Amino acid sequence: MKKNRKGIVFFKEMDAGIIEEIEDGYRFVYFDEYLKSGIPISVNFPLTKKTYESKKLFVFFKSILPEGWYRDITGLKLKLDKDDDFGFLIKTCEDAIGAVSIKEME
């Protein structure tokens, strides 16, 4: 059973939406207020009230995960399973390089 973990997705420090782990995969949805900005976080996520769902972590979010030796060291320090992509996303991407960052919701 999934842990129902969630993260706030930021675009250039604006609250853009929520990504969450659900029973059979993952879900991303924009905040209504962010839709007014006119700026999608990615071409893979056009601005819409639609809820995006996937059985696997969305490729866009996987692309901002740490890799290689940095992922190994970070995983050990944070006690994350090496295959827990969502754990890495919400625990390590608050200061990600680029316009998008993720902060764990507690």
pLDDT above 50: residue 76: yes
Task: Write out pLDDT tens, residues 29-72.
Answer: 999 999 999 999 999 999 999 999 999 999 999 999 999 999 99
pLDDT above 70: residue 2: no
pLDDT above 90: residue 101: yes
- pLDDT at site 1: 42
Contact 55, 23 (CB under 8 A): no
SS3 state at 43:
coil
Is pLDDT larger for residue 1 or for residue 60?
A: 60
The residue count for the chain: 106
- pLDDT at site 36: 96
Domain spans of the chain, in order of start: 6-105
Name the DSSP letter for residue 96: -
Contact 102, 19 (CB under 8 A): yes
Whose tokens are 């949805």? That residue is: 29
Q: Please enumerate in sequence order all residues whose Cβ is within 8 A of that of 83, keeping only pairs 6 or more positions apart, or say none.
A: none
